[in-house]
Copies of this chain bind each other. A is one copy, B any other.
Amino acid sequence: MPWKFSRRAQNLKSSTIREILKVTEQADVISFAGGLPAPDTFPLSEIKDAANALLENQDIYGALQYGPSEGYTPLRQWIANYLSERDHVSVSSDEILIVTGSQQALDLIGKALIDTNDTVLVETPTYLGALQSFNQYNPEYVAIASDNEGLIPETIDNELASSAKFLYSIPNFQNPTGRRLPLHRRQALAAKAKQNNLLLIEDDPYGDLDYQGQRLPALYTLAPENTVYLGSFSKILAPGLRLGYLVANKQFISKLLPLKQASDLHTPSLTQYIAYQVLSKNNFLNHHIPKIRQLYNARCQYMLQSLAQYMPKEVSWNQPEGGMFIWVELPAYINATELLKEAIAQKIVFAPGETFYVHGEKNNCLRLAFVTVSEEKIDTGIKKMADIIKHHIQQQLL
């Protein structure tokens, strides 16, 4: 074979989660594993109308031609207006970079900031996809202590904060834990960042999915000079569009631009034009997001109820205020990755927690996704999982 791979490529493996997802393609499997949004929330009729309007219009030539690397100007302007209104700040369109899903923003951030052995601070646990992107650039991770409310800013050493390239955080309904960082910790984290000239990467794909519609201030509004904000349309429009955006000051964006060009020239024009058409009509998100919140809240409450009904007292979990995930903690002697094998044999899958820890600190947690699963399947799946877990607990007691 004539290829000699880079050290980077030699060190990487395909995601365990993605390998598991392949099992879930079998029709009779009950999957709590994926991070897929519910297809019931895809705005089909609005996308149809948008596509049809576009196809009948001169704009179609723009939608099919090469476009600017920064993204489609009207879409950038729409995002700037949306954020300015939602977050009571002043964001301008030249502070917006359109990306091919916020996964690409993570790749660009890794490219732009990480040299080999640079320190990157992450939550405990953290989003696997971010680690996969950053891993390409060989950082050293430091995991910040976290509890049921999320990361604990007071535990971040000032010297560490000053020397780190950035801290990566998902403050709203975190993947994998579903945790939301409370206001006092957001304020403490913003202060810590300012004090130590620390850059915060605020990843916010689930921020609009708070069940009560009570948004907490984003880090980029509390420490604007210190924060790069990542937004996504995957959970409020449709992930198949692969559309996200990055908000940062103009100087930072201009540094990312050659990296964005080198990565894919620009995000597809067609998906940007369609998204803009949908978003800009009749305050679309104002009536669409409440529907998603209601659906996801109902499924979440149903799963919480099933957990309470079936799980033995040795198992605990959180009560998410939004988002797509519940984080379950098993007794310390049960390895969730091992448990998964038994669950797969009974055609149930979930995401074992171990892979979300940068140093594999804990192996007795797991992530449950509930938004794509019917109530009947939630009931059946949680009951079967509980039975497997009970069997382990009984064996331990023998």
Question: Once the chains are docked, how many angstroms separate the CA of A9 from the CA of B111?
Answer: 7
Counting CB contacts under 8 A, is A155 at the interface?
Answer: no
Say whether B60 contacts A55, CB under 8 Å: no
Nearest-neighbour CB distance to chain B for A134, whole angstroms, equals 9
Say whether B39 contacts A100, CB under 8 Å: no
Interface residue from B1, B3, B135 paired with A262 (Cβ < 8 Å): B135
Which residue of B is nearest A14, CB measured?
A: B258
Counting CB contacts under 8 A, is A226 at the interface?
Answer: yes
The residues of B that contact A166 with a CB separation of less than 8 Å are: 3
Say whether A104 contacts B2, CB under 8 Å: no
Interface residues of A in 98-136 (CB under 8 A from B): 100-101, 103-104, 106-107, 111-115, 118, 129, 132-133, 135-136
Say whether A238 contacts B64, CB under 8 Å: yes
The residues of B that contact A37 with a CB separation of less than 8 Å are: 65
| A3/B199 contact (C-beta < 8 A), A242-B265, A264-B100 known | yes
| A66/B240 contact (C-beta < 8 A), A2-B199, A2-B225 known | yes
Residue interface mask A234-249, B partner, CB < 8 A = 1: 1000111110000000
Counting CB contacts under 8 A, is A259 at the interface?
Answer: yes
| A2/B193 contact (C-beta < 8 A), A7-B115, A66-B239, A271-B271 known | yes
Nearest-neighbour CB distance to chain B for A107, whole angstroms, equals 5
Interface residue from B34, B52, B69, B129 paired with A18 (Cβ < 8 Å): B69
**Lowest 6 A-B CB distances belong to which pairs?**
A240-B269, A64-B238, A64-B240, A242-B268, A2-B199, A12-B258
